[in-house]
Structure 1
């Protein structure tokens, strides 16, 4: 399967999570967490740890600052509201599902194929003067440098280009381009059309 189609299907799944009603959202989150634990446990757990402060902030802001009926009648001014707790759970669940989906995508799709898929999806931007090659290569450089950045110590960005001998070096950048077949284009058009119809319904 073409990497651009994989990326488009992933984007459609992430967008669908944002459109799901709360009743179906719980099942979708359970599926995403189960798949992440099965396919990309370490990467997904690391991503969840990185957004834990954001999850706590979302829960606190929605639960305590949304007007509504008090959850605890003994402390109506200090406790969260029922409506706020529901909103906090919904938004935190959506973020958790997206983080798990990101972990699965980064684990199962190589960096070169990921950027190549983005290059394929960005080709229509050429019509408005945006070269997809530059966009894809810049994203590839950023992702490579972030992945190889020295953790736990402060440093200048030029340190990424210096090897152990003190000589500046840089690996050649390879942009993997795949040919999109007719079936890939048809599936992509159907996915885009279905998502557009669902969002406008």
Structure 2
């Protein structure tokens, strides 16, 4: 993200990702396939190793989603036997798998190029409603930013499950390359940044309304 633009802010990228994550739940299979393919091509161009890591680690989860839907959704049997999966179930499972893959791929876009400091800036802006509830949004934003940064690094390092479980059981934290030097208070949003953020927020609200109020068939 080019922070030289007057309208650019990490909160906008994060809100855009949330918008996309909501939108993929509403997309039909054809545009969904096209969108996921474009996201995969973008990640293949930027970080091909990360794309193969994601696909390799998600393959069993995606397969499980397809199989669960295939044997649980009623419809026409794939072959004439009561234990056969259905065409409708396999199609629904493949669609849900594509939606999950689209969310994960776009999450990589959101994290790409954002340092922990920039993540904190964006989280702090988006956590503004917490202050209305009397909560410490600075602490919440810092924890969320560090969690995303650690999760992204964990994905790249491929530690064994035994070492991960042992670290969690011992209460150890994952090492970071450098200490987090946060600017406090974070830089205030400019007028253009507020305008762009408001437009994206209106798009998110419109998408959620469409999801909650589907068109009558």
Shorter-chain TM band:
0.7 to 0.9
Q: CA deviation at 1:2?
A: 0.6
| Aligned with 2:132 (options 127, 133, 137) | 127
TM-score (norm 2): 0.76
Structure 2 counterpart of 1:20? 27
How many pairs align? Answer: 192
CA contact (8 A) 1:58 1:88 kept: yes
| Aligned with 1:196 (options 186, 205, 215) | 205
How far apart, CA to CA, are the structure 1 residues paired with 2:201 and 2:174?
39
Q: CA deviation at 1:26?
A: 1.4
CA contact (8 A) 1:19 1:199 kept: no
Gaps spanning 5+ residues in structure 1: where? Answer: 162-169
| Aligned with 2:62 (options 52, 55, 58) | 55
How far apart, CA to CA, are the structure 1 residues paired with 2:100 and 2:14?
18
Structure 1 counterpart of 2:107? 102
How far apart, CA to CA, are the structure 2 residues paired with 1:159 and 1:109?
21
1:1-201 to 2 correspondences below 5 Å: 1-72=8-79, 75-143=80-148, 147=153, 151-152=159-160, 153=163, 154-155=166-167, 156-158=170-172, 172-176=179-183, 177-201=186-210
Segment drifting more, 6-15 vs 170-179: 170-179
Q: CA deviation at 1:33?
A: 1.1
How far apart, CA to CA, are the structure 2 residues paired with 1:82 and 1:160?
44
Q: CA deviation at 1:84?
A: 0.3
How far apart, CA to CA, are the structure 2 residues paired with 1:46 and 1:107?
15
Cα offsets for 1:14-66 (capped at 9, x unmatched): 21111112232111111111111112322233233333222121011001221
CA RMSD of aligned residues (A): 2.7
TM-score (norm 1): 0.82
Q: CA deviation at 1:70?
A: 0.9
CA contact (8 A) 2:124 2:138 kept: yes
The runs of at least 4 consecutive aligned structure 1 residues that moved more than 4 Å come to 143-146
Larger Rg: 1
Gaps spanning 5+ residues in structure 2: where? Answer: 1-7, 211-217
Structure 1 counterpart of 2:4? none
